[in-house]
Structure 1
């Protein structure tokens, strides 16, 4: 696609920009910040950049349906119109009950001027350069008749004109111009079109009605056939013979724009509103919404904490593709007691917040990061705020987990291909729609999608709808919404950031408790959310049996041994239980701790490949006599020592499976303590987030406008004083050319050069040479107000400028 150049522009648009006030230019660069990245050298460059397809596309993507309809109407009117005519044409499509149109249209036109998509005074509004091509086709209309019949042979057009003669005014029979121009003029007359449409068959009129409001194209076999009204045998023949349809391909026909407008009764759009329809949905008690959302927020933070604690002890591996295996996700879902999609969401939120990352072995494991240790000591509300802010900004789409990519490969959780830059934009837009509703209104899916369609009609599509559905579901799981309505802390997150959101959520969360209720059946009941330290210790010393309003933990031989393996003693365990229990420690639990502690560590396992050591030979006699020990290839070398070719870790696990309680020891004979939080991933690159909106600060916008004004004045002065002298471009020998250029570089003076352009034509340039190397001259071209590189072999000659011209 060819980008408009400064030299190729008409200059009208640039002159209009130059006439804008500084305040209006600041508004332009603030609302379209892409135009000043980098800062244009002058206003001509700003006008050229504003006319590029990419810049226009980004500006149009920000428009709502009404603003886009105003631009489309102006395009249909020929790209220029007076304000009253524009208002009258747009107003034809308004619903009868749509009050406030006049004020809305004025605001919209002023906004389009601010965005430099429309320019000129009210008596001559114009589309900015390039906008017409970006809007094609407007409002579902086909091409103008002159373009639609462009490839029809003259004799074919003559036949159509002959069949239209009975319906044309007498004055048009002697109209001059080409056949295509006369046909376009006839179809531009609504009265002619109405008479022709009334004359064709009902089936032909039905075909026209199907194309009237778009799409304007259809499929017809042998569309380029030449037919006349007298010999027409089908509805398509009738329409082709009278020029109501134009063949644009071998099997494609289109409805000319003038015909469609006549059939629409002069309306460009079928129905139009200057404001979106009101959101509808169920009304909820705002206080109930906040409490429900707070419950979801609390649950999610607990799930993230459980995930990191489990993965810190038993991390899953990283797939070669970079994701999490399906079996590991299934296992994680079981540990968290969640469906797999919800577990995948918890994993993705933890990853987005930087709490988990890949590390560990050569193949890689998913482990908590050091950031998790800082996160878990924060208050509960601050934890949630960090997770919510990360979810809001992440470019990843957790809802795609389980889908398949273009090559039919599964998209696993944590897979790199889950990154979708549009996901963050749609997520923010969905929450903005919910924030626009009154507190407690739970807008339904269809209402949200309809509002998004109105606010950003050019960004609609199947992916946008899917991402919007993901956002609604994920916001509920995260606790940003409750019962479908935006919560108070959700509004604070959008409007004021994570700190205010945490402050709004904190009063709604239950206070952590630092005690449990020990029971005689070896269980402990947590009457509420536990403090972080107590929760981690209980997760080490007991197993979760059930969750709900109160979490039930069960003490078992395995769980007590797990705590002893982590370095705690029996007395320490009992002391912790007494300190954190609101009831006395039951005798069965004391017996269990004492029994496991008595047997724990009597057998020591080291490295031979491995050895087993025990101070009681009778215990080793029992081990050697056990048939289950045969695969371990044990050999006794002393009354209290057994060696084995089995690895130490495997030997410890096998002995534990046989009912013993061994511990591993180092080469020095010290007990190896295993800690649940010993493993962490190395800090890595943070997950990618959506870049913040690049809205320049007021002082930056002011400086940019000043710089462009100064550049404009300098360019104008350079053009006045930098015009090439009259006459033929200079010619000189190569040696002379190089010498003069080198002297000009040394003195910093201007020279007049002759230069062959890409077509071989000699042109004159006034340049200020800066560097001469590698067969290239780098110089500031004053005739074009830009730095250029000139090939030395294409310089025909050089002439020094006089002192008068050099001033």
Structure 2
């Protein structure tokens, strides 16, 4: 909680005197801190913020909301909850709710033995269970969500109520003729709730009937038999099934279905609800390696991913990939990306999707559409390697897209393209986090076997198990290995702080493992330069301009060629610039052959200048133009001598320049003013996706939860406050009702009183508000709204009713200035 948060206080009370407690009254009695914890644990309850406690209670017990909460329970928590549902069912003929001592006995644990108290606190905090006079009760919707808790059937009262009245009457007359209960259903239900009477009824059955019950006692509680609704009494029973039917130890639940009542099953189980209660997940078993080796291997893979992303986006900066009509990436471009990154297509697909999720890759605004690096890529490239990787890893963790689905077909038979629609799986982020948290729970350096990891995850999230979940878990494990999140099958050391939200700690650990950028290369006599590690950004860019990458791996090999040197000259570098660059950063002397190559290409570079006539050639050496005009290989260019130093051509300038370069000449383009046009290839970038401006101050989740609680409390006060309605004219001239409302609110403004109003908002919803009017005129009322903790203007024609507040209307609920506001 923050320093300026209001004091942790309970609600205005629980159930009114004389009324039985309800879930809403229990929720109203929770403290502000407990309600804030509930909204933090179940954030869907606060979207949008409920109007009052009643609305919060309705939302907390809604079917879908409870289903989402159940998905986060582990196996032990789910068993505890099932025990509360089984023992705390209000349809059992016993005091409503489950006693903590009985619950502990059913789970074979001591009431104070860990982790039972902790789990009960969690279930209370999630509002799946609530307390009623010291007993634990489940929320009502759990009856249908957990119809057979602990593999138990329904209570006898439910089964008896579904039977014909005459059949239940005969059972009551036969088994409990002297009962004082008002109805035969209650008579039989009370009978089955008495352990002594159940034991007596069991003693009247034969061995075969008892064996039949023993086969159903631990579930499933139903069996199939013909003519399940037959009429039979203890005197006419002629088979084991009829012996049980006549004594209500089995009851029909269908024409051919018999069900074991919950009370009978509990008696037969002798106390325990489950055959096995596992309070902790199964141990993760697998290969154990030194943690340092695991982190080193993962860091190596992380560095490989960084280099692959750079190579891909630099390639697409020069030759972008086309955007398909459905917004995806084509198979040919994926293959080209795999070749650029020197990897397989599956790995390339994951890297492409991760780069897109990190905001480094996007589409331009052209009609055709191309995939290009975004402007964020240029900033990302300047960051330290550990920061660059953390951005990729965080984007992968939060992304709902699964790259391995690319190339598969949807239900309509359409192919799912990479970067296109159809690859979204909302459960993917949670599956990734579950896998990483499971690996983090193992001993450092442990690479669990797949079956051991599956058992662990099944215990942690039993209600999430499905074929789709298994596919997401397998994909998460494979993707984590490719991205460097894991190494040798175990979690990398720098990922543990990342899972705890400590990015600074993760960056420190990773920085120590990544190779540091170098500012030198080794130039060799075979026209190559070897970079023994990653290069600093400036050197890497300049070297990529003057040489071509020949191979990558532990070291990168660059090769110098005529084309690569000409590329540097075209970008405006001179001969001296190139040789100075290599001399400064090479730990070995420059070979004479490389100096000759640079000097020779530089000498020929720019001797010819191409223009448009369609195009022309201009040269200060007439002999060179004479040589070109007489060369048989240039006949298709249509060269025509215009002057001793000028030759015109039929083809365009771009074609002329490219063809002469193929023939071993090195022309450069020339502008209309006669100046050479030198420059690097066009660097194109896509616009980043639109994003809302960052907030002026980061708001923490607990602050948002407390603000929501204050709004709910204020709304609840407006809905439950004691009030005295102010009579308003129902009939009269037009405007008389609005005038009466204005008179009442003007008087409240003069006297500084708070009033209650019923109001219809702009969405047509009828809401309650407690306001303190300050000004009323012109058809509007300006007032402080305690529900919103802000000043608001209310339209008078939307005010449906007005009431004075009672003496205990709750002025203490108004926040102090600077607090809630």
TM over 0.5: yes
Per-residue CA shift, 1:463-519, capped at 9, x if unaligned? 332222222222222222222222222122222433322222222222222222222
1:307 touches 1:332 (CA, 8 Å); kept in 2?
A: yes
Matched, 1:407 2:412: yes
Matched, 1:61 2:65: no
Aligned pair partner of 1:321 in 321, 326, 345: 326
Distance (whole Å) between structure 2 residues aligned to residue 702 and residue 473 of structure 1: 40
Task: State the 1:337 CA deviation.
Answer: 0.8
Write out aligned runs for 1:385-424 (5 A).
Answer: 385-424=390-429
**Structure 1 pair 548/106, CA: closer, same or farther in 2 (3 Å)?**
same
**Structure 1 pair 674/408, CA: closer, same or farther in 2 (3 Å)?**
farther
Q: CA RMSD in A?
A: 5.0
Matched, 1:18 2:18: no
Write out aligned runs for 1:371-770 (5 A).
Answer: 371-616=376-621, 634-636=638-640, 638=642, 640-646=646-652, 648-676=653-681, 678-685=683-690, 696-697=701-702, 705=709, 708-709=712-713, 712-713=716-717, 715-719=719-723, 721-722=724-725, 733=731, 735-736=732-733, 738-748=734-744, 768=757
1:290 touches 1:487 (CA, 8 Å); kept in 2?
A: yes
Task: State the 1:327 CA deviation.
Answer: 0.8
Aligned pair partner of 1:108 in 116, 119, 124: 119
1:74 touches 1:81 (CA, 8 Å); kept in 2?
A: yes
Per-residue CA shift, 1:117-170, capped at 9, x if unaligned? 222257422113433333335345565666678877779x68xx99xx8xx996
Corresponding residue number in structure 1 for 2:83: 73
**Structure 1 pair 567/739, CA: closer, same or farther in 2 (3 Å)?**
closer
Distance (whole Å) between structure 1 residues aligned to residue 408 and residue 699 of structure 2: 33
Write out aligned runs for 1:340-359 (5 A).
Answer: 340-359=345-364
Q: What is the DSSP-based 3-state SS (H/G/I as helix, E as strand, rest coil) of the residue aligned with 2:674?
A: coil
1:749 touches 1:768 (CA, 8 Å); kept in 2?
A: no
Write out aligned runs for 1:185-224 (5 A).
Answer: 199=208, 213=219
Corresponding residue number in structure 1 for 2:9: none
1:137 touches 1:143 (CA, 8 Å); kept in 2?
A: yes
Distance (whole Å) between structure 2 residues aligned to residue 477 and residue 100 of structure 1: 47
**Structure 1 pair 781/479, CA: closer, same or farther in 2 (3 Å)?**
closer
Task: State the 1:354 CA deviation.
Answer: 1.8
**Structure 1 pair 21/777, CA: closer, same or farther in 2 (3 Å)?**
closer
Distance (whole Å) between structure 1 residues aligned to residue 621 and residue 160 of structure 2: 104
**Structure 1 pair 769/502, CA: closer, same or farther in 2 (3 Å)?**
closer
Corresponding residue number in structure 2 for 1:128: 139
Distance (whole Å) between structure 1 residues aligned to residue 350 and residue 58 of structure 2: 45
Distance (whole Å) between structure 2 residues aligned to residue 802 and residue 352 of structure 1: 56
Per-residue CA shift, 1:768-789, capped at 9, x if unaligned? 4768999x9978599xx999x9
Task: State the 1:338 CA deviation.
Answer: 0.7
Q: What is the DSSP-based 3-state SS (H/G/I as helix, E as strand, rest coil) of the residue aligned with 2:573?
A: coil
2:722 touches 2:805 (CA, 8 Å); kept in 1?
A: no
**Structure 1 pair 773/704, CA: closer, same or farther in 2 (3 Å)?**
closer
Distance (whole Å) between structure 1 residues aligned to residue 617 and residue 442 of structure 2: 70
2:722 touches 2:806 (CA, 8 Å); kept in 1?
A: no
Aligned pair partner of 1:281 in 246, 270, 286: 286
**Structure 1 pair 771/298, CA: closer, same or farther in 2 (3 Å)?**
closer
Aligned pair partner of 1:46 in 40, 48, 56: 56
Distance (whole Å) between structure 1 residues aligned to residue 142 and residue 689 of structure 2: 44
Aligned pair partner of 1:89 in 106, 109, 134: 106
Task: State the 1:29 CA deviation.
Answer: 3.9
**Structure 1 pair 125/225, CA: closer, same or farther in 2 (3 Å)?**
closer
Task: State the 1:334 CA deviation.
Answer: 0.8
**Structure 1 pair 773/29, CA: closer, same or farther in 2 (3 Å)?**
closer
Distance (whole Å) between structure 2 residues aligned to residue 633 and residue 415 of structure 1: 44
Q: What is the DSSP-based 3-state SS (H/G/I as helix, E as strand, rest coil) of the residue aligned with 1:421?
A: coil
Distance (whole Å) between structure 1 residues aligned to residue 240 and residue 608 of structure 2: 96
Task: State the 1:658 CA deviation.
Answer: 4.2
**Structure 1 pair 24/573, CA: closer, same or farther in 2 (3 Å)?**
closer
Task: State the 1:667 CA deviation.
Answer: 3.5
Corresponding residue number in structure 1 for 2:751: none
Q: Structure 1 length normalisation: TM-score?
A: 0.77
Per-residue CA shift, 1:72-115, capped at 9, x if unaligned? 12222225222222222233xx8xxxx99833222222222232
Distance (whole Å) between structure 1 residues aligned to residue 420 and residue 805 of structure 2: 68
**Structure 1 pair 490/777, CA: closer, same or farther in 2 (3 Å)?**
closer
Comparing 27-36 and 533-542, the one that deviates more: 27-36
Corresponding residue number in structure 2 for 1:3: none
2:104 touches 2:111 (CA, 8 Å); kept in 1?
A: no
1:300 touches 1:478 (CA, 8 Å); kept in 2?
A: yes
**Unmatched runs of 5 consecutive residues or more in structure 1:** 1-5, 751-765
Distance (whole Å) between structure 1 residues aligned to residue 206 and residue 624 of structure 2: 105
**Unmatched runs of 5 consecutive residues or more in structure 2:** 1-14, 91-96, 747-754, 771-785, 789-793, 810-821
Corresponding residue number in structure 2 for 1:117: 128
Distance (whole Å) between structure 1 residues aligned to residue 627 and residue 261 of structure 2: 97
